[in-house]
Structure 1
């Protein structure tokens, strides 16, 4: 767009005079009117140009800021993706470690329960076997005492068979836990002997 003519250039413009021309007074009056209007337009145009320059500068600044913002957003997106990926990997690692730890504890507890169960069954079986042997031994002794026809405790004790290893172990264990077990056994044998004598 070509620049506008300055108002003072119009005012200083000089025209040559001719013999047959317009009325100089009317021409000058009309030129003054046009000059006034043109001056207003010139000032308005200058103001608009200044405003346009300001707007253009702001637009350029905003365009630069927009590019900076776009770049910052892209960097933030990439950083967030990296952070999310890192957090996901850490969570997976922690979850796998926790799962492995739980599996190890469960396996250890299961093995311990199985071991304790096996030990308990072994103890129960041994206790039952020992109880059965003791009961069988006492039954044999009772049957033996019933078959013996004697009147004194001394002859009964002399004729009793030698106790087995299990009976000896049982006698030792009972004697250790019950100091008066031997005396109690003698009293029971004496009582049983009296009953046998009375039956005769």
Structure 2
């Protein structure tokens, strides 16, 4: 596409009777073609400008509607947040109570288990002690029998 500078700087060679007519005609055709294209583009741009102005008005109206909707939504969201905080606080308190109850139950169960373990340890010691006494008495009996055999022999 030609620029104004191209048109300004265009030089034609001189021919026998002046400028070369074919070059001038060719250049004028190119200028005419480019001018027609610019003219059509200008019309298209004007139509586009009008269409865009209409769309801008539509979007401005939409923006106002959205702004109002957003304000209402923000107010509703704030109310939801307040209610959610209240509910969260209530749930947290309930969870704390429940966790304390579970911990207390676990501690009580731990104490029962520890008491059972202590009882089992005591029973184990008693069992071992009795087994030692039984083993010792059996050993003494064996020693007596051996002693009697030796005497008898």
Give the TM bin, normalised by the shorter chain: 0.5 to 0.7
Matched, 1:79 2:112: yes
Tell me how far apart the structure 2 counterparts of residues 49 and 98 of structure 1 sit (CA, whole Å). 72
**Residues 22-171 of structure 1: matches in 2 within 5 Å?**
36-120=69-153
What TM-score do the two structures reach when normalised by structure 2?
0.53
The ranges of structure 1 where at least 4 consecutive aligned residues each deviate by more than 3 angstroms after the TM superposition are 32-38
Tell me how far apart the structure 2 counterparts of residues 89 and 45 of structure 1 sit (CA, whole Å). 64
Report the structure number with the largest CA radius of gyration: 1
Tell me how far apart the structure 1 counterparts of residues 123 and 99 of structure 2 sit (CA, whole Å). 35
Tell me how far apart the structure 1 counterparts of residues 124 and 70 of structure 2 sit (CA, whole Å). 78
Q: Give the unaligned 5+ runs of structure 1.
A: 1-31, 121-200
Larger fraction in helix: 2
Please give the root-mean-square deviation of Cα atoms over the aligned residues, in Å: 2.1
Number of aligned positions between the proteins = 90
Q: Give the unaligned 5+ runs of structure 2.
A: 1-64
Question: Which has the bigger relative contact order, CA under 8 A and spacing at least 6?
Answer: 1
Distance apart, 1:33 and its partner CA: 8.6
